[in-house]
A and B are shown apart, each in its own frame.
Chain A
Amino acid sequence: MIRFLLRRVTFILLVLVGVTLITFALERVVPGDPARLLAGTRASQKVVNEVKKSLGLNRPLLSQYVSYVNSLLHGHLGTSIVTRNPVTHDLVQYFPATLELILYAMLFGAVIGIFIGVTSARHGGKIDVVGQTVATSSLSIPVFWLAILLQMFFYSRLHLLPSGGRLAVGVTPPHTITGLYTVDALLEGKLSLFLDALQHVILPALCLAVAEIGLVAKTVRASMLEVLGKDYIRSAQAKGLKSRRIYFRHALRNALLPVVTVMGLEFGLLVSGTVLVETIFSWPGLGSYTDQAINSSDYNAIMGVTIVVAVAYVFVNMLVDVLYVYLDPRVRLT
């Protein structure tokens, strides 16, 4: 176990160095000379050179990279030109809203996806065709388009769900404990506040979950079909167990293992999705922050989000790896 963890940690460190190399390279190609920008367009070349020197832009690349990583390690991501706050500060502020959205999306995606996958594998035939069609369609729908349609239908037509935001206008949010409104509202014991927050999270989370539904459904279906062909299922059947029990107790448990692996991938999909969906639902999270940053060429903010998300992604995948080993004793620790 120790050797396994050591290997993973070395690997992650390497990947993290890689991540900073890529973002460092990207910051070098950002249009516009930062020194020129700071000195003003009318400044003489001499002044620009001096600014360059004070920014350290005339130093060798390697030493620039070292100081870049150094400032990253201290949590400095620069200042956003839109909010005029340090990017780190912004990220901390917007993070809980996105986390709440992603958690609900994961929940919806897992529940609906597993249901479709199991039903497809269990019944076969026409039901399987329907299930697979739903799964494939869900991987073909652009989330931002679906968001507009759902909003049009559930808000403009049916007046059933709110159009956006985290809470109804004028409602005071719960005290920040976790930053997740639904959880905080429950912790405070305010049921109406919880329901309001829940109503607001349903549509955006459902949109985000769509691609995940297809992915999970396909994975579960394939692994169910594989597991059902195994000998121990035959034994269970020979023992005379009810088919329901065989499906859900014996087969599903093992068939769900690959879903754990898919979860790491899903995190990437969901984070990407928030950038496309949050703006439509005026959801005050990292996604709309990124969208805004892109629209106003706020490079510090864009790079800040990119780095933080990549680091989070790396850790989620590590967690998935470890979880997998824990769940499946057959996996060798190498």
Chain B
Amino acid sequence: MARVTGSITESSRRRLSTVRAFGKVSIRNRLALTIVIGAVLVTIIDLVSGGRFPFLSSPLTQNLEVTLASPTWSHLMGTDEYGRDILSRVLAGAKVSVEVTLIVVIVGATIGMIIGVVAGFLGGIVDEVLMRLTDMFLAFPALILAAAIAAAIGRNLQASVVALTVVEWPWYARLARAQVLSLREQEFVLASRTLGASTRRLMFRAILPNVAPTLIIQATLDVGYVMLSMAGLSFLGIGAQAPLPEWGSMILDALSYQPQAWWYALFPGLALTITAFGFNLLGDGLRDWLDPTLRGFRTDFAMGEE
């Protein structure tokens, strides 16, 4: 039967116990952690082993005798049109995706945070200028602007990273500014202002640390989205270029061999979906932890029926 929760004491107690016993996390969060840690582990193995996974052929080794072979014991996910092992390419793709996404999200969030904090704290003309700048970028659907930028500055992974960062920061700037506006008048900020703290000290010592948690949650929620956008750019042919193993560009290559070589498109997409799912779950978990009102409790009303 449904739990009757929702009272403040109950939810705060649960929050405490989450901190105390990390082993007692919900199945959902455990799944999220497993996927995320898995993706990061694969990335680390890839970096340590120099791009070659144990027991597998290198993701770039061609074997023209087994082109487009369906999955067998020697090639668990089959091979592509050059006879390359899809499993090792899918694993190597994790590195590209995780790396690129983390760079985009971290750089984008940092730039956005700084701009948002400065705009929100200084207010006036600075705020007006920075926020109108932000609105300019938000006026475009993200992927369209990213594609236009990437197509204009060059078709490679670096260009896509720049393009995705450019469309990413405005969201954080807005979020950070909104946070700052509510923090600015809080007593602890007023107190340090009275004590004679400089503007810079107020901004970066008093305000910034309080803005950061919200932005970190937003960033975690964004990882999945950025990962999909990156793959999307590669699928359009303006992200990762051959022969780099990247999930989006693998699916693009697979397109020519559908529907016969079903394994070719299936596995890279599956890897992408699972990884994005893991990060999305983790983001949800983090947000619920901070904002208990969104947890799926049933209200007293819902209890009353039946």
Residue ranges of A at the interface with B (Cβ–Cβ < 8 Å): 11, 14-16, 18-19, 21-23, 26-27, 29-31, 120, 122, 124-125, 128-129, 132, 136-137, 139-146, 148-149, 151-152, 156-157, 221-222, 225-226, 228-229, 233-234, 237, 243, 246, 267-269, 271-272, 275-276, 280, 290-291, 294-295, 297, 299, 302-303, 305-306, 309-310, 313-314
Contacts and interface: CB of A to CB of B under 8 A. Distances in A.
Given A140-B280, A222-B294, A152 B258 contact: yes
A259 to B, nearest CB: 16
A137 B136 contact: no
Contact of A128 (B135, B140, B296, B299): B296
Contact of A268 (B142, B149, B281): B142
Interface string B231-258: 1100111100000000110010011001
Contact of B277 (A23, A136, A226, A313): A136
Contacts of B144: 268, 271-272, 275, 290, 305-306, 309-310
Interface string B124-137: 00000000110111
Given A142-B272, A275-B144, A314-B139, 7 more contacts: A21-B136, A139-B280, A140-B280, A142-B228, A145-B269, A156-B258, A275-B147
Nearest to B298: A124
Contacts of A125: 2, 298
Contacts, number: 184
A237 B304 contact: yes
Nearest to A311: B139
Interface in B197-241: 224-225, 228, 231-232, 235-238
Majority SS at the chain B contact face: helix
B132 A136 contact: no
Contacts of B142: 268, 272
Given A26-B149, A152-B262, A294-B147, A225 B280 contact: no
Contact of A313 (B136, B139, B273, B298): B139
Given A128-B296, A294-B238, A144 B232 contact: yes
A314 B140 CA distance: 8
A18 B281 CA distance: 36
B153 A29 contact: yes
Contacts of A309: 140-141, 144
A263 B149 CA distance: 25
A88 B304 CA distance: 60
A18 B132 contact: yes
B305 interface: yes
24 contacts: A14-B135, A15-B139, A18-B136, A27-B152, A30-B152, A31-B152, A129-B28, A137-B273, A140-B273, A140-B280, A141-B273, A142-B235, A142-B247, A142-B269, A144-B251, A148-B258, A151-B259, A225-B294, A225-B299, A226-B293, A246-B301, A269-B141, A290-B144, A302-B152
Interface in B258-273: 258-259, 262, 265-266, 268-269, 272-273
A29 B272 CA distance: 32
B141 A271 contact: yes
B151 A313 contact: no
Q: Nearest 10 A-B pairs (CB), nearest first?
A: A18-B136, A145-B269, A272-B143, A268-B141, A140-B276, A140-B277, A156-B259, A124-B298, A243-B305, A306-B148
B280 A124 contact: no
B41 to A, nearest CB: 20
A74 to B, nearest CB: 21
B269 A149 contact: yes
A275 B302 contact: no
A26 B296 CA distance: 45
Contact of B140 (A141, A229, A297, A306): A306
A309 B144 CA distance: 8
